Amino acid sequence: MPIKVAKFLDVAEGTQPGQFTVGDHEAVQSLADLDPVYKRLLDEPITAVVAVISPSGRANLTPVWFDYEGDTVLLNLATHRKKAEWLRQHPQATFLLMNPENAYHWLSIKATVAREVSEDDAVEGKRVTEQLNRIFHKYTGGEEYSLRDPSFDERRVLFELTVDSIATFGRP
């Protein structure tokens, strides 16, 4: 299914009429088809900000490590975190990936939870741990995730999200 991309007009090459508004819309067949200027934000270890809706109806913003497989966004959370509960109640999330060297170069992804996999699942649980180790390596260089809370048996859940739409802005 095509992914709708809203391409905001920026001022990287000077001011222009309609700047900071959506200039064009396009459809890409997959995340792999994104302009490489924006796809790199997905592939580099850039901390994303994820927004989920709390029971009060307010957006909760949290920095997270970003990962994806194909066209599926992956969000690996400790099961005791409020975000996990809130995603189950309101299964939509928005991710913002901002170039740390230029705040006016960013990509936003609106996504919906398609499924979740528990680390304790007899069939797929190992995949949750492997994905956590992979994302730990991407962001820290370490081989095995070593940040579990030592005060209890911290368990993880992997949320798989379908991309609904993307917005892009700026140049590196």
The domains of the chain, with CATH numbers, are 3-169 (2.30.110.10)
pLDDT 10s digit of each residue in the chain, 172 long?
Answer: 677 776 666 767 666 666 555 566 677 788 999 999 999 999 999 999 999 999 999 999 999 999 999 999 999 999 999 999 999 999 999 999 999 999 989 999 999 999 999 999 999 999 999 999 999 999 999 999 988 888 888 999 999 999 999 999 888 9
- Residue 13 and residue 50: Cα distance in Å, rounded? 29
Do residues 70 and 142 touch, judged by C-beta distance below 8 A? Answer: no
pTM value is: 0.88
- Neighbouring CB atoms inside 10 A of 2's CB total 10
